[in-house]
Structure 1
């Protein structure tokens, strides 16, 4: 037995799309067979059946209705699968044998366009990575908005991870298995491996885009070519929405590594990865989806260029200062829908009539927005107004052509206004008035011939006809009628006029639907020619929306415009943590000042109890700095800030058990990355360095880290929270170190956290008091205090013996290892030499001898 012709066709198509679940069109259903069927039935909870395929065993099969496909496809894509859509590609009436079929589109996580399965407030990027020998080429595209960006980085997996973190792609195309393995191990992203030819045709990429920005080189071309080839392979159509390749330099914005983004909770909280509780949650009060996506990009890539920061801050201030205009602008922007994604659907031939009406409504609001912006006539906003194209011609075209109540489906008709196209008007008139025309013709023919029994009729076989009884044959005018059918008692005729009417009436619905579809395609093509104009206006709307949003948030939360200084100092008066403040009742948050400079206050050691607010204080300093560099006002009474090239954070405890890394190993790796990459213009946040190991190991590491930063990274401003209050001795010993602590009020035997940061170091960690607040048993706490008293006596001896660190070449007179010697002395002192046996004495002597050798 052999495969049936249909299954032969299925396998020949499937052979070319092995990595896809193939949706094979049969009538009104998409069917899946064999492995695809078994997988889809499991993932989509479909009934698995079988079909005769010419083999001894039936082919496993499952299917879904054609009209309900989008929902099922979306579910598969969200699970990380790729779906190939296989359709009939020839008219069944003209087919010889089985109807020809082929894959018309491949839908993947990075090329998804169904808004029901996409977050319209964030981009959906697909990424390409190529290895060109000494550098990695990177390209990022959001096909749903038409954005396309490219860059190159040194061959560093850490730098690669930073860019992946910035864009959070849903899918990656790579040319190198090593890169693929790294991404597969670290990121939960669909990977596609595609071979990349050594010779990269830069002209092919350049011809694809109408404009290129920034420097352009072979490395960027390699990644761009790889990504474009993959997109063409999946979309099966010209990607006319990709009009602009933006070449960016990673140094154009602040690089935020994965740890910093997570620790500062910039776009999602640490607990459940949701938006609530993040900085973006506080700042995002945008009125449009385009503005929301734009703001997310700003948060994930703060500026480092002073002029660009000033332009954004000035634009926010201009809107902030005009409350009436702010409200009017917000209201006007609410009428603007997602122009970017509608435009991409136009380019990809997937836009429907309802979306065209949505575009029309959006464009109708543009003149009012431009007029509002023109009232300000200041700085960045004036520049935007000068470039603001209100697209009146496109709005007029849509207004004149698309019916106001046009349906979503192209098959339902009623899309094009009758006044827009004469033929459509005529066909629609025929559909409505066809019976009236026949009645009028019947009456006209009766009057012309004088035959009162003449009638115009219709049947499915012969169509329309004029029927005259045999008794009236003599009254039939010569040359007017053409005989069509003879009956027993009558003759049926047709005239040229009736034939014309018949042609119009019969199939008017079919002709009308086909004509409306064709005219809709012409309108779509006309708008497609203006894609670059539409995209430019969409970008302006996104920027304007961000400016008004940041102005609104600043007003609602009492934020102030920061001053970006050039002396490298930080001066924040009554600073607040934007997220924590938002989560608390109004007025409950305790504000704090922060002062740092390049000289005697560039390294702050912050001590005090856990849970007292040290981490919040440091995080708010980082967030205030970051907010200023995205162009936002900041939560403070006043703020003067430098431009930081990087913000680094080492906060919290986490492990990587799958990667074989303990909590302490992860901590040390993060500290190592900071020390290797920080510069004198960086802001460093370190929280409890060394706590993942034993007390004295941790203390020694923390001490050494402080020394290294001060000596090896001069100028870097560092906030260093620690429970090692012994480190406070470094103030006065190391230039630039200042002690700060959390104010604690002792109430009887208990303590109260006042959340206030004040100069000076803490002499206690209050750890046992925190444990008491957590509910540990009283007898346990009593024993802990007893042990603490003994340890503090020995601890004082060790710290007191550490030499001054002012002189780099001085050695430690009594180092941390002297604590072990103290333990040995205690062991000797505790011996009851008069009451031990010679064997016991010999054993103790051996133990002490072994320990002494280990110390050496």
Structure 2
């Protein structure tokens, strides 16, 4: 920062404002531009790709600056906020023409990642949650609250562990969390590493709204979390928050629990590869017609129900809509015309609503009678509760119809927004302007006749007002006593006359008063609508619920989904189940359906079969079927009998946690431990290839002990896929475990995947066949086949011992001679065809034993080379 004593008055004003917002980009309004200065300008010019200039460039310390047009500022604000920054908007608080001295300026809004309310079409179906977190050191509990400023949603919970907090924040996809001083630095660091902006708010502002919005909350820590949140919102937004709904307390345990990793692995709302919606369960199920319906569907997906009656109520509604095609078609036709009532109500409260928004609101309200008529044709025992909340709010519709023109401009201050006949005073101003325009047309005709100049014209601009324009070749025809020069152009001159000046004053006064009165009338209409915000929000909730249910019905019809039958016996029977997303991508004819049968006598399915055969798909499709059941949707199967699960745990796929510096195997073990510690008999566990991230025997021992622990102590429904075929012997020892395998066959040395899950264990893994399909070199595959046969010939079977680790140790396979003096891996050398005659030394035996127990795929290339080098060195002794 430049020396404050050398700053101009304007820069002193700028710096005083900037000092209040040191962690934000300050957009400082100067005329038609918002300017950035100093470090903001240097950093902002890079991010926003603006030209960096300087103020007082001739001084010893020029001030870096860059700017953006005020009409385009939103685009630049969006870029900065998307990158995780805060932006303070500093406006001119008085008309520069009327100001005495420096124009007063003040920050009117602080836009942050969590408080952003403007969203484009691509984000219409996404929520943007701002989260608050406080800690009570007496109860050792956290207060957790979140709000969606654009819709008014406000919820809170009391949480006990850091992992639960992180999981809630990630599930909400929150971009900003507000914390008080008692939240530990370690937790703040975890948020930061996850890319979540942390803001600090310790003081609570006393507001009547806080008491109202927190009324009825069950604990003090929840009330404090909401109070901190509301204070931060008020301090940053500096505007009315009348649309915020009364805080609702919720318990995560009231919903089907899925941690963030499970949601991610199952691709509920985000594609693992593209990070987009396409290819997810949300993508398949989203046939909603409104933005608010799309957001509700997403909330239902990440919080499936565990209450049987509510699930049944949703299923009944879906069935009723599914069985009445024509009424459903009429309903969807009406829903298409309903705009985002939730966010329209938010804009009304914020004061950012414009004429076009009000027309959208009126159009939406005009659809409610048609929607109610459609529901009236259906079973009121099922859909009556939704119908009862569909209040038309006709008074708001009539007000907008009477006041706002059908096609209003975007601006609310430039006129043309209020209908003729709504205000007598406004009609008088408009009549004066219309008469003035008629008078000007008549004056132009008179002047042309009096001067004989046929191309004389009367015009207007904002700088010079009304003028008479005459081309230079006709200047000699003008009377010299009446025409007063106003402006000289290249080929013409512009003049005024006394009578034109007089009429100009009357017209401009009418125009100015007309614009001012129109804006006042618009604000009155907006304030009247604001009184109905809570009614609009209740209506939006009912419409969005109906929208999601009709979406379920449409999707169920299109993809042949069936209603699952719920049971309390913990029996699971899915006949011809399908992975709905994979089926949609592949096509109905290509997908091979499969059964899942796990009655009360079966808790564990041990799945074997080749890579790429469909084991992971089989596991995921069960989880998705559970989720679809418990959000009230129908499911992809010929028939389905389902228990209600309380939790889903998944360990599918392999990935390092780069942020925490943890290996794939460590992540695998941590996720497995979470399931083992928290699962109940009513949970669903999906374990895919556990143990492959370490040495073969370590991995096999862990896999068996995990299976035994789940079987003997947890009793949860568990799908466990593995390539350790030795584990299939467990079905002889564990009564509630059954082997199934994904079928494959060999034809002329080629592997054919059948994608059909069948009883019993697979006969082998077909790993080399899969490698062949992947295109590995033929010599490599031939060598792998030789090694495999050697290993199989010399390995002894592993015996299954319940409650113990794997007992027997396979006999090491003999090594192949390499003869490679350059240090190449022996595994990739040509096989030695000469029979070995000399006896094997103890040293050789030890090295072969180490080689047999080394999982090369879990090592880095450098680690492999180092081990091979060490083995070769020892062999030479």
Taking structure 1 as the reference length, the TM-score comes to 0.85
1:643 and 2:644 aligned: yes
Q: Counterpart in 2 of 1:60?
A: 64
Q: Counterpart in 2 of 1:170?
A: 175
Residue pair 1:316, 1:547 contacting (<8 A) in 2 also:
yes
Pairwise mapping of residues 326-725 of structure 1 onto structure 2 (< 5 A)?
326-434=328-436, 505-598=507-600, 600-714=601-715, 716-725=716-725
1:247 to partner: Cα distance: 1.2
CA deviations 1:793-828 (Å, max 9, x no partner) are 44434x14x44x2xx5xx78x824x4479999xxxx
Q: Counterpart in 2 of 1:125?
A: 129
- Mapped to 2, the partners of 1:297 and 1:166 lie a distance apart of 10
- Mapped to 2, the partners of 1:42 and 1:437 lie a distance apart of 55
1:789 to partner: Cα distance: 2.4
SS of structure 1 residue aligned to 2:258: coil
Residue pair 2:280, 2:581 contacting (<8 A) in 1 also:
yes
Residue pair 1:319, 1:326 contacting (<8 A) in 2 also:
yes
CA deviations 1:561-590 (Å, max 9, x no partner) are 111111111110110000100001231100
- Mapped to 2, the partners of 1:647 and 1:734 lie a distance apart of 23
Residue pair 1:4, 1:54 contacting (<8 A) in 2 also:
no
SS of structure 1 residue aligned to 2:752: strand
Residue pair 1:166, 1:256 contacting (<8 A) in 2 also:
no
1:781 and 2:781 aligned: yes
- Mapped to 2, the partners of 1:78 and 1:303 lie a distance apart of 32
1:379 to partner: Cα distance: 3.7
Residue pair 1:608, 1:741 contacting (<8 A) in 2 also:
yes
Q: For residues 397 and 697 of structure 1, do their structure 2 counterparts lie closer, same or farther at Cα, with a shift above 3 Å needed?
A: same
680-689 vs 169-178, which moves further: 169-178
1:418 to partner: Cα distance: 2.0
1:205 to partner: Cα distance: 5.8
Q: Counterpart in 2 of 1:195?
A: 202
Residue pair 1:360, 1:395 contacting (<8 A) in 2 also:
yes
Residue pair 2:790, 2:813 contacting (<8 A) in 1 also:
no
Residue pair 2:328, 2:374 contacting (<8 A) in 1 also:
no
170-179 vs 255-264, which moves further: 170-179
1:405 to partner: Cα distance: 2.0
Residue pair 2:262, 2:650 contacting (<8 A) in 1 also:
yes
Q: Counterpart in 1 of 2:78?
A: 74
Taking structure 2 as the reference length, the TM-score comes to 0.83
Q: For residues 525 and 185 of structure 1, do their structure 2 counterparts lie closer, same or farther at Cα, with a shift above 3 Å needed?
A: closer
Q: For residues 118 and 558 of structure 1, do their structure 2 counterparts lie closer, same or farther at Cα, with a shift above 3 Å needed?
A: closer
SS of structure 1 residue aligned to 2:528: helix
Residue pair 1:74, 1:117 contacting (<8 A) in 2 also:
no
Q: Counterpart in 1 of 2:476?
A: none
1:107 and 2:116 aligned: no
SS of structure 2 residue aligned to 1:15: helix
Q: For residues 340 and 179 of structure 1, do their structure 2 counterparts lie closer, same or farther at Cα, with a shift above 3 Å needed?
A: farther
- Mapped to 1, the partners of 2:291 and 2:663 lie a distance apart of 41
Q: Counterpart in 2 of 1:481?
A: none
Residue pair 1:364, 1:395 contacting (<8 A) in 2 also:
yes
Pairwise mapping of residues 316-327 of structure 1 onto structure 2 (< 5 A)?
316-327=318-329
1:658 to partner: Cα distance: 3.7
- Mapped to 2, the partners of 1:317 and 1:567 lie a distance apart of 24
CA deviations 1:307-361 (Å, max 9, x no partner) are 1111111111110110111111111100001111111011000111111111111
Residue pair 1:166, 1:301 contacting (<8 A) in 2 also:
no
Q: Which structure has the larger Rg?
A: 1
Q: Counterpart in 1 of 2:471?
A: none
Choose from 117, 138, 148 the match for 2:144.
Answer: 138
- Mapped to 1, the partners of 2:411 and 2:220 lie a distance apart of 44
- Mapped to 1, the partners of 2:62 and 2:850 lie a distance apart of 77
Residue pair 2:162, 2:187 contacting (<8 A) in 1 also:
no
1:109 to partner: Cα distance: 1.6
Q: For residues 432 and 334 of structure 1, do their structure 2 counterparts lie closer, same or farther at Cα, with a shift above 3 Å needed?
A: same
- Mapped to 2, the partners of 1:180 and 1:104 lie a distance apart of 32
1:745 to partner: Cα distance: 2.1
Q: Counterpart in 2 of 1:46?
A: 50
Choose from 266, 272, 275 the match for 2:274.
Answer: 272
SS of structure 2 residue aligned to 1:115: coil
SS of structure 1 residue aligned to 2:20: coil
Q: For residues 26 and 185 of structure 1, do their structure 2 counterparts lie closer, same or farther at Cα, with a shift above 3 Å needed?
A: closer
- Mapped to 1, the partners of 2:555 and 2:402 lie a distance apart of 40
SS of structure 2 residue aligned to 1:507: helix
- Mapped to 2, the partners of 1:274 and 1:18 lie a distance apart of 34
- Mapped to 1, the partners of 2:769 and 2:202 lie a distance apart of 62
- Mapped to 1, the partners of 2:846 and 2:614 lie a distance apart of 49
- Mapped to 2, the partners of 1:556 and 1:849 lie a distance apart of 57
1:184 and 2:191 aligned: yes
Q: Counterpart in 1 of 2:455?
A: none
- Mapped to 1, the partners of 2:417 and 2:530 lie a distance apart of 18
Q: Counterpart in 2 of 1:460?
A: none
CA deviations 1:428-454 (Å, max 9, x no partner) are 1111124668999xxxxxxxxxxxxxx
- Mapped to 2, the partners of 1:739 and 1:628 lie a distance apart of 26
- Mapped to 2, the partners of 1:794 and 1:428 lie a distance apart of 101
SS of structure 2 residue aligned to 1:96: coil
Choose from 157, 161, 175 the match for 2:166.
Answer: 161
Residue pair 1:653, 1:667 contacting (<8 A) in 2 also:
yes
SS of structure 2 residue aligned to 1:83: strand
CA deviations 1:383-439 (Å, max 9, x no partner) are 111121011111000000101121111233111112111111111111112466899
CA deviations 1:459-517 (Å, max 9, x no partner) are xxxx9xxxxxxxxxxxxxxxxxxxxxxxxxxxxx99xxxx9x99965511111111111
Residue pair 2:113, 2:176 contacting (<8 A) in 1 also:
yes
Q: Counterpart in 2 of 1:489?
A: none
- Mapped to 1, the partners of 2:593 and 2:622 lie a distance apart of 11
CA deviations 1:697-721 (Å, max 9, x no partner) are 111110000011112212x100111
1:90 to partner: Cα distance: 3.0
CA deviations 1:120-163 (Å, max 9, x no partner) are 01111111111122111111111011111111111x22111220
Q: Counterpart in 1 of 2:866?
A: none
SS of structure 2 residue aligned to 1:216: coil
Could you list the runs of 5+ residues in structure 1 that have no partner in the other structure? 441-462, 464-492, 825-829, 852-856
Q: Counterpart in 2 of 1:478?
A: none
1:639 to partner: Cα distance: 0.6
- Mapped to 1, the partners of 2:729 and 2:52 lie a distance apart of 73
Could you list the runs of 5+ residues in structure 2 that have no partner in the other structure? 443-464, 466-497, 816-835, 852-877
- Mapped to 1, the partners of 2:591 and 2:407 lie a distance apart of 52
CA deviations 1:85-120 (Å, max 9, x no partner) are 111223445533211111011111212222338600
Residue pair 2:795, 2:812 contacting (<8 A) in 1 also:
no
Q: For residues 347 and 848 of structure 1, do their structure 2 counterparts lie closer, same or farther at Cα, with a shift above 3 Å needed?
A: closer
Residue pair 2:740, 2:758 contacting (<8 A) in 1 also:
yes
SS of structure 2 residue aligned to 1:684: strand
